[in-house]
Structure 1
Amino acid sequence: MTGKTDTNKNNRNRYYNRELSWLQFNARVLQEANDEKLPLIERLRFLGIFSNNLDEFFKVRYATIKRIVEAGKTGKSFLGGYSAKELLEVITQTVIDQQAQSLEILSKIQTKLRKENIFIINETEISPSQSKFISEYFVRYVSPAMMTIMIGEVDEFPNLRDDAAYLAVTMVMSKEDDTFEAKHNYALIEIPRTINRFVELPKEGDNQYVIILDDLIRHCLNNIFNIFKYETISAHMIKITRDAELDIDSDLSRSFIEKISKSVKNRSAGDPVRFVYDKSIDKKSLQFLLDKMGIDKTDSIIPGGRYHNRRDYMNFPRLGRPDLQYEKTEPLPIPGLSLQGSLFDKIAEKDYLLHAPYQTFMYVIKFLREAALDPKVKSIKITIYRLAEVSHIASSLINAKKNGKDVTVQIELQARFDEEANIKYAELLQSEDIKLIFGVKGLKVHCKTCLVERLENNKTVRYGILSTGNFNESTAKLYTDYTLFTANQKICKEINKVFDFFEVNYQVKKYRHLIVSPHYTRKALYNLIDTEIKNKKAGLPSGIKLKLNSLSDYAMIDKLYEASRAGVKIKMIVRGICCLIPGVKGMSENIEAISIVGKYLEHPRLFIFENAGDTKVYISSADLMGRNLDNRVEVSCPIYDPDIKNEILENFEIGWSDNVKARVFSVKNDNAYRRNDNPPIRSQFKMYNYYLNKLEVN
């Protein structure tokens, strides 16, 4: 027993728990909402991101831990020394504290908005003229879209959707009403998702007014329930989050699309894992709801404020106030690569790197559109993980097929929360006779690759794209990512091997240039780290620089600890989860790690090794998590072009120099901002200027 306890304590001192590290990342998002230097509407947007992140966390991670508890296991070996049951309690308390903080931040923002003559009002603050507007708006737009369910005397409680918010209505019935036997009766109103959550009311002078849809409905409760006689009526918000794990049908007669489609539909009936309620609701009504829904103590029951689904703040109306938003910056062109001429002609001469959103994603669209029209192009192969809602990528592929090209699309139907969108696109592409591949059994295809084969002088020449992010023009405006355009035939040949593996996946290919999961990434990175250890011991230049979304694989962390103990200096920029604890004497004193959360979502993965002065640089689709190393198809690509290599190294240094939006990972794990005596450097803003200067030089 003692040995086990010591091991668990050691694990807590050696690794930070993945779930708690994720909650710390979301706390950094909340810090952005609390940053008084940010424009007010952008601060509301960060509150929405915080809430949206939390929803996904409960659907996936909390649900996974809950399943461990229900299976009667502790999970301590892979939960960083926590038992699953203990971890659920810590998560719930952490979230309660964060939710309380988010409400305080929202109140501060609303106070500042009032100073800007912007008023978010509730149903008790409505003027007579506003009441007339609201009543008409309700009848015309809200009432037809609204779902109202009387639940007081139903035998079977309705299945609540986990992407919706509900008003739980309590009516204390009048003695004159003989409709119901009970004194208290209940109803649920589902807040319509087809209507903007924020309704702009007519301006009054210089004042602008916004009412949240929930309060607009509260104002109209008498209109909704006027057929009943009641003494009092009240409405309180509730929200449920369900386990989002897909249970894939094993029916061999069904197509893979049918199986995923059925699984996504069944997700709506998943077990509840979180119940959030307005803490001002009366105890009798709350207990009624908990009993009816079968919510128990293994679920996370969180008292909240008046409003839930605060993710909707991501779409708070702009109100014609650009001064309360980030200054708009136009994405820049890549020096020397015009969108007017042929991209293939230019890429044939040298590699080019796109760094979105600082540079325009239109190069990817142009690449595919040109391939669709070019008579010399014979085939296009591409991996798809997440597409934009209206995708120019998909349109270009269909266009290519109509022009007689062979088009092969590997589409990942199990991309979390994008399954329905990917099913829609899979069916669309299939209807155009485009060849679809649905991946490899047991593996998600997460790599971002595209290959075009072109007949030039009776010889097949390949052109490739490798990216750290999705081929998605919408997220390319918000996520920072690298995309490499190359005609290096050795690299392109190996991209083709990856597509061969999708079709004949019992054959494991060999690669000299690309590093491909699940077969090679772990071992290749270990070898690269070992080389840095040997170089340090030999007195040669050594060092490791990593840029990641997440670092949670314990074996990989141990390897980095080993390098640190050997004296190898390691710098890491990790946006999200970081289970490695830097700066611990005898374990990680040579490791420094920061996280940057700002205007854009930091999304690239970079592996940089000093390599005795001959620096090796890789861009990758893979984070250092067990799933990316062992259970997904990922591609890391070496950068051979010296100019691009230098650009990436300079980019890393810009990020590393951030002393405005960088937080330091430490034993304290307190999200402390990095502060020093250097002039203020906000890396995302400096990065844009870096590329602007490149254009001026050229």
Structure 2
Amino acid sequence: MQSAFFFDRDLSWLSFNGRVLEEAGNSHVPILERIKFLSIYSSNLDEFYRVRMPAVMALEKIHQKGADQQAAEAKTAILKEITTIINRQQERFGAIFTTEILPLLKEKGIHLVYNEPMPDSIKEEVSAYFYTHVMAFLQPVYLSISGIKFFPENNKLYLLTVIEGERGFNELVIINIPSDNLPRFYAVKADNKQYVVFLDDIIKDNLSAIFKHAVIKGCFSFKITRDAELDVEDDYEGDLARKIEDQLTKRDFGLATRLLHEPGIEDGHLQLLVMALKLQHASIIRGGCYHNLKDLGSFPVNEAGMSYDKWPAIRVKAGDGSLSLFEAIEKKDLLLHPPYQSYDLVLRFFNEAAVDPDVSEIYVTLYRIASDSRIGHALVSAARNGKKVSVLVELKARFDEANNIRWAKKMKAAGVKIIYSALSLKVHAKIALVKRKKEKRISCVGLLATGNMNESTARFYTDHILFTGHPEMLREMELLFIFLGHRKKAGNPGLINFNHILVAQFNLQERFLQMIDREITNARAGKEAAITIKMNNLEEKVLISKLYEASQAGVQIRLIVRSICCLKPGVPGLSEHITVKRIVDRYLEHGRIFVFHNNAATELYMGSADWMNRNIYRRIEVCFPVYDETIKDQMLQLLQLQLDDNGQAVAIDQHLNNVPLPKNGTLVYSQKAIYELLAKQQG
């Protein structure tokens, strides 16, 4: 299908990050939460420059060198539009921060020193902090000294200082801002106020202690963003963990994609910096006075009434309390909804498996494991307690590689069988299987989730976790674990016959297409036909095209897509029966839910798979059916609250705009409504 029928994935992602930025500008959000949204926006943009910009720039160069002039012009236009959008968003960021956030902080008696002289009342204390804590980490680099080898690392902060030395000419000196070693902000109380000072300004205000015999002509902050891609061959056969560890040491020294600098640097000095640091191929971007504002996430203030009201996680019981968790699961499926509900049941699942004498085998996939994972500790204990424990650790989970490798080594040393996926195939499935042997009978219980088995992210990612004793589904999970243990590519989709779970590389795309086709058939027969899907990202064109076909047949399609959405909704003759909503609120929407009306015999699936090219074609994903009618009804209730959301949700229109929804009638804030509903149901 023509590219005109699809949004560009990078422009769509920028639209999502723009929605995050607007939440920072939402006057109804508590001020410290608004600051966190600024931090999230900044962190997201840094990742965009590390991950997506290298790909966009490479594609543009490929098309420029090729014969397809039209494709080359299209890629150049996309790159220009990306730059325009980011510049516009950065201006909005600055306006929110300076004209809204800073005045609101001052009203609360909090003075963030921002691009202004250091107040006299705190100068002495700030200077003392500089001499006793900061100075030890400073490493000035004079660019004029020949033979100096200096390589600015990825997203580290630096100051370009212009000094006039004793010989009367200007020199350029780079000074590191040691925000890896020290907090980015320093809090001081004086004049009945709470002052907060950037580490950057502490250094700037004490430059005379570094350059005692020089005149300081200017000082400007900058940072460099580098390509984050790891270079590991698809057919690499050696020690994969060691190979990725070697690559991680090089990641911060990758190709520079962006030089972001404070305004005011003379053109000649900027060019000297670019030449000295070999940044000729990077985007040179004039930013604000401060960079890495993702550090706002650690803003050192926590006053009452400046954050969201607390929603204590709802504790969920397993059965009547007289049974073990596994016995309760064997009797009836359970469904958990973190962070609204406590993650304790997941921890209990692995803890019981580690010590239950009836448990003989444990299988689990780990994509992003918490740094101090209770699940990891339970698996170590299980192995030491004589259980057969097999763990697939995904070493290629971007930005979590080092932590995953650390845990893989720890578990392996304890006797856990560690499996790494085939290099060209990530395992993104979130599943666990426990086999129990009692009185010569083997039974299984399983855990299937939409999100990682990570108790840290479970505090702010909305996910759904199914505990089940369904024999056929668990047998299929066991077959998948056996397959993964051989570290082979999927190859033949008919290799394993999955009838219940949907597995990418085997039957996932095919089954989703079949279920959409069934709705098309029903619509053409005059029957009610509808599809409701919630996911993080929607990009894959085969599935999008099938949704277009369903819309043209009259199927009513409601989508909730948090981030990338390449489908254009509401286009006459193409997608007029498709609506798309986006929800950004206190929690990160992360669950994937797929509902097919099926002529009133509703089918509901959940799982790990977004409809992205990578998920469909280059990963092992698992989506699973919900068979228990009580659980299904509850999920449909929760989903309906999100479809009804007109407080935090926006509609994505056919021009990729985030359009606020009408506030007529009752205002529905779905996350709050879901929490209240689950609390009421729990009693």
Do the aligned partners of residues 172 and 407 (structure 1) sit closer, same or farther apart at CA in structure 2, a change above 3 Å counting?
same
Equivalent position to 2:627, from 618, 640, 648: 640
Which among 472, 478, 482 is matched to residue 500 of structure 1? 482
Give the match's secondary structure for 1:348: helix
Structure 1 range deviating more: 91-100 or 567-576: 91-100
Q: Equivalent residues in 2 for 1:457-496 (5 A)? A: 457-496=439-478
Distance 2:149 2:381 in 1: 49
* Alignment match of 1:306 (pick from 286, 289, 296): 289
Q: Secondary structure at the match of 2:533?
A: strand
Give the letter for the 2:471 counterpart. Q
Instruction: Determine the structure 2 residue equivalent to 1:215.
Output: 201
Aligned residue for 2:173? Answer: 186
Residues 253 and 150 from structure 1, CA distance in 2 versus in 1: closer, same or farther, beyond 3 angstroms? farther
**Mapped partners of 1:29, 1:645: distance in 2:** 31
Deviation at 1:489, TM superposition (A): 1.1
Q: Partner of 2:230 in structure 1? A: 246
Which deviates more from structure 2 when the two are superposed, residues 248-257 or residues 470-479? 248-257
Shift of 1:546: 0.2
- Note the residue ranges of structure 1 that are not aligned, 5 or more in a row: 1-6, 177-181
- 1:99-498 correspondence to structure 2 within 5 Å: 99-107=90-98, 108-122=100-114, 124-155=116-147, 158-175=150-167, 182-205=169-192, 207-226=193-212, 229-248=213-232, 254-296=238-280, 299-317=282-300, 319-334=301-316, 336-337=318-319, 342-498=324-480
How far apart are residue 146 of structure 1 and its match? 3.3
1:3 equivalent in structure 2: none
* Paired AA for residue 214 in structure 1: D
Partner in structure 1 of residue 583 of structure 2: 596
Pair 320,314 (structure 1): closer, same or farther in 2 beyond 3 Å: closer
Provide the identity percentage: 34
8 Å CA contact retained: 1:123, 1:216? no
The one of 21, 41, 49 aligned to 1:50: 41
Q: Distance in 1 between matches of 2:346 and 2:286?
A: 46
Deviations 1:586-621 (A, max 9, x none): 000000110000101000001100001110000110
Tell me the residue number matched to 1:537.
524
**Post-superposition offset of 1:564:** 0.1
Q: Is the 1:479–1:603 contact (alpha carbons within 8 Å) kept by the matching residues of 2?
A: yes
Indicate the residue corresponding to 1:33 in structure 2.
24
**1:61 counterpart = 2:35:** no
Alignment CA distance shift 1:467-1:74 (3 Å): farther
Structure 1 residues 410-459: Cα deviation after superposition (integer angstroms, max 9, x where no partner): 00000011111111111111221210000124210000000001112211
**Shift in CA distance, 325/154, structure 1 to aligned 2, threshold 3 Å:** farther
Structure 2 CA distance, aligned partners of 1:568 and 1:251? 44
Does structure 2 retain, via aligned residues, the 8 Å contact 1:350–1:486? Answer: yes
- The aligned amino acid for 2:33 is E
User: Which residue of the partner structure matches residue 617 of structure 1?
Assistant: 604
2:384–2:415 Cα contact (<8 Å) kept? no
What is the CA–CA distance in structure 2 between the aligned matches of 1:255 and 1:421, rounded to whole Å? 17
Cα distance change on mapping 1:438 and 1:111 into 2, 3 Å:
same
What whole-Å deviation, never above 9, does each CA across 1:381-423 have from its counterpart, x for those lacking one?
Answer: 1100101121111111111111111111100000011111111
CA distance, structure 2, for counterparts of residue 385 and residue 104 of structure 1: 38
Q: Are the structure 2 counterparts of residues 573 and 418 from structure 1 closer, same or farther at C-alpha, using a change threshold of 3 Å?
A: same
Give the Cα separation in 2 of the matches to 1:183 and 1:304: 24
Query: What SS does the corresponding residue of 1:331 show, helix, strand or coil?
Result: coil
1:143 Cα shift? 1.9
SS at match of 1:305: coil
Query: Given the two structures, how large is their TM-score scaled by the length of structure 1?
Result: 0.93
- How far 1:338 sits from its partner (Å)? 7.2
Task: Report how far residue 466 of structure 1 moved.
Answer: 0.4
Q: Which stretch shows the higher mean deviation, 584-593 or 143-152?
A: 143-152
Shift of the 196–339 alpha-carbon distance from structure 1 to 2, 3 Å rule, reads: farther
Deviation at residue 74 of structure 1 after TM alignment: 8.0
Distance 1:556 1:75, change over 3 A: farther
Q: 1:656, 1:420 → 2: CA distance?
A: 39
- Deviation for aligned residue 1:669: 2.0
The alpha-carbon distance between structure 1 residues 74 and 640, as it changes in their structure 2 partners (threshold 3 A), is farther
Task: Call closer, same or farther: CA 1:583–1:251 in 2, change over 3 Å.
Answer: closer
> What residue identity is the alignment partner of 1:217?
I
Question: For 1:321-346, what per-residue CA distance to the aligned partner results, in whole angstroms no more than 9, with x for missing partners?
Answer: 13111111110022555789621121
Is residue 520 of structure 1 aligned with residue 507 of structure 2?
A: yes
Using the TM superposition, give the Cα deviation of residue 65 of structure 1 relative to its aligned residue in structure 2, in angstroms: 1.5
Residue 129 of structure 1 and its aligned partner are, at CA, apart by: 4.5
Query: Can you list the C-alpha shifts for 1:310-368, whole angstroms capped at 9, x where unaligned?
Result: 11111212x24131111111100225557896211211110001111000111111110
User: Which amino acid in the other structure matches residue 387 of structure 1?
Assistant: I
SS across alignment from 2:368: coil
Aligned residue runs from structure 1 range 654-693, under 5 A: 654-693=641-680
Q: In the alignment, which residue of structure 1 is the partner of 2:9? A: 18
Cα distance between partner residues in 2 of 1:290 and 1:338: 67
Deviations 1:188-223 (A, max 9, x none): 323331211111112432x21100111111112112
Q: Deviations over 1:48-86 (max 9, x none)?
A: 000100011111111111222343468999x99973333
Q: 1:250 to 1:385 in 2, by over 3 A?
A: closer
Gaps of 5+ in 2: none
Matched AA of 1:299: A
1:112/1:154 Cα in 2 relative to 1: closer, same or farther (>3 Å)? farther
Residue type matched to 1:199 in 2?
A: Y
SS at match of 2:477: helix
Q: Is the 8 A contact 1:249 1:259 kept in 2?
A: no
* C-alpha contact (below 8 Å) 1:339/1:366 kept by paired residues: no
What is the distance in 2 between the residues matched to 1:324 and 1:466? 37
Which amino acid in structure 2 is aligned with residue 165 of structure 1?
L
TM-score with structure 2 setting the length: 0.95
Q: Using the alignment, how far apart are the partners of 1:99 and 1:83 within structure 2?
A: 24
Q: Secondary structure at the match of 1:186?
A: strand
Task: Give the Cα separation in 2 of the matches to 1:288 and 1:338.
Answer: 72
2:623 and 2:439 map into 1 onto residues whose CA distance is 31
